[in-house]
Amino acid sequence: MKLRLFLPVLVAGALALINVTGASAQTIKVGHSDNQAHPKHEAFVHFARLVDEKSQGRLKVEIYPSGQLGDERELLESLQTGAMHLTSVSNGVMSAFAPQFMLLDIPFSFSDSESARRALDGAQDILFTDLDRIGLHGLSIWEQGFRQVSSAKKGISASADVQGLKLRTMEAPLHVEAWRAMGANPTPMSWGQVYSSLQTGIIDGQENPLYVVTQEKLFEVQKFVSLTNHIYDAMPVIASESWWSSLSDDDRKLITDAMAEATSFQRGLVDAAVEKARTDLAELGVEVTETPADQIAVLKAQAQPPVISRIRDTLGDAPVDAWLAVIAE
């Protein structure tokens, strides 16, 4: 008799526990296009750990790296439909969805990472404005570090060294515009063609964050690297607006706080990767040149006007002037 009375109570208690656990567990679906060794993936893993801790296991982050859920354009489209919750994409792809991100492609905007980070953290209202109209919500700006120039010929110690340089660029019109204005011969090219094109001399050089030269073994065909800091390579972290608006105020704060910590972590990873790459390049016999500030000023004067003019044509004067004011500060 006692056992028969006890069993329904036991079963009811177990079912209640299952129902509570099932009802409270929420999954945050994250997708990105980079591999698991990339600072972006490591930062999302850190973010997942923080969310789990802060929510005491109530929120769980599932991460799908290496383009498992699609390329960067498809990932943003998945956010718009609510099929996915979070991603981080290259700025060029983001600009195709929200033209204000073109502002980050103004060359020579920053001389160092600290000033770039302060500007971006303090001006996200310019970059993230109106994203909700296209089903997106901005959370943070991650990065890959500054883009630098590698070459098979010589380092850039004077602005004249850029003249005629056959330089691979991303397939980004503003980047092409900038390098053409500086006198280079920019060649937009998909990444898969770059190594062989450098090897055969179709192009003289390429531009990318410093650690790409070591990770992709470009040092085998590039013996000169110039620290030009011409573009701060941003990777916006974007959420689905429909998902974001469905969250409670407490959960939004929890995720915002976790993202702020993950952003600091991500930037630290990039700093470490850049520093290691610089040391490794020296050991590999690559000549690393710091392009002098006065020569950077010459290149800036050549590159900025046509790029800014093109952005004004797209965005109008107000956002461009607001962004330039942020940079000036």
Q: Residue type for 141, please?
A: I
**Other Cβ atoms within 10 Å of 232 Cβ, number:** 26
- The pTM assigned to this predicted structure is 0.89
CB 72 within 8 A of CB 89: yes
For the stretch 41-83, pLDDT in tens is 999 999 999 999 999 999 999 999 999 999 999 999 999 999 9
Euclidean distance between CA atoms 165 and 162, whole angstroms: 5
CB 18 within 8 A of CB 36: no
For the stretch 144-168, pLDDT in tens is 999 999 999 999 999 999 999 999 9
Q: Residue type for 179, please?
A: W
DSSP string, 170-233: -S-HHHHHHHHHTT-EEEE--GGGHHHHHHHTS-SEEEEEHHHHHHTTGGGT--EEEEEEEEEE
pLDDT band at residue 257 using 50, 70 and 90 as cut-offs? very high
CB 29 within 8 A of CB 64: yes
For the stretch 177-221, pLDDT in tens is 999 999 999 999 989 999 999 999 999 999 999 999 999 999 999
Q: What tokens appear for 255 in the block?
A: 């995720």
**Other Cβ atoms within 10 Å of 91 Cβ, number:** 23
What's the Cα-to-Cα distance from 97 to each of 76, 234, 236, 293, rounded to whole Å? 8, 15, 12, 34
Kindly tell me if the per-residue pLDDT of 6 is higher than 90.
Answer: no
